Amino acid sequence: MTNIILSPVIAIDGPSASGKGSVAERVAKQFGFHYLDSGAIYRLLAYAAYQQQVSWSDANALADIAAHMVIKFEHGEAYLNGEQVSAHIRTEQMGKGASEVAVHPAVRTALLQTQRNFRQAPGLVGDGRDIGSVIFPDAGLKIFLTAAVETRAKRRYEQLLQRGETASYAHILDDLQQRDLRDSQRAAAPLKQLPDAILLDTTDKNIEQAVNIIIEAFKKASQTA
């Protein structure tokens, strides 16, 4: 019998604009782990569908695109079929599209193995909505990273202004509330805090504090594993 030793996984799930991406990337860097931004995969699918004029409600056509699209992440940039599309997928429109394509069970199934392939030595930090529940239920550490919706809206608003974009706080708040509802109320792999996940509320914490809490929790979990 061969014993396959799987690389460790840190799963960071939580709602939109909770800071998951920044936190997960820094934790991955600290341990020299790979990083999976699963939201970016759903955004790439929304963008691919948009390019091909396929509706975000057409589950079968979307699952077909998901099964055939070639994605790559390199030096923080996202590629779709060989084209660098980072700026295209980071828009509020593609965030909404990602949330819409993600409700279809056929889409989620088509993207399951793609996400599992990111688990490589020496380890992985994955962020999303169902990393700890569906993609890597055996993750050694599960974090539910959240913050009050008003705080998340304020952070997103300031981020957009910094990028030189025009933004409306009220519009962002409304959009986040709708996205929270869609991501947590859907039947397939809804966003929820798992019983074995550590709750990390960053309403009153900065990125560095959140990163340090996760680093310490992983060290502790590794000692007791």
Residues that bind ligand DC (CB under 6 A): 16, 38-39, 42-43, 95, 98-99, 102, 128-131, 179, 183
Identity of residue 35: Y
Select 134 or 225, whichever has its Cβ closest to ligand DC.
134
What is the DSSP annotation of the chain? -----PPPEEEEE--TTSSHHHHHHHHHHHHT-EEEEHHHHHHHHHHHHHHTT--TT-HHHHHHHHHH--EEEETTEEEETTEE-HHHHTSHHHHHHHHHHTT-HHHHHHHHHHHHTT--TT-EEEEESSIIIII-TT-SEEEEEE--HHHHHHHHHHHHHHTT----HHHHHHHHHHHHHHHHH-SSS-----TTSEEEE-TT--HHHHHHHHHHHHHHHHHH-
* Minimum distance of ligand DC from residue 206's CB (angstroms): 19
* Minimum distance of ligand DC from residue 205's CB (angstroms): 19
* Minimum distance of ligand DC from residue 224's CB (angstroms): 27
Select 4 or 84, whichever has its Cβ closest to ligand DC.
84
* Minimum distance of ligand DC from residue 84's CB (angstroms): 17
Cβ atoms of 157 and 167 within 8 Å: the answer is yes
* Minimum distance of ligand DC from residue 99's CB (angstroms): 3
Select 3 or 162, whichever has its Cβ closest to ligand DC.
162
* Minimum distance of ligand DC from residue 202's CB (angstroms): 15
Select 114 or 212, whichever has its Cβ closest to ligand DC.
114
Select 63 or 130, whichever has its Cβ closest to ligand DC.
130
Select 36 or 211, whichever has its Cβ closest to ligand DC.
36
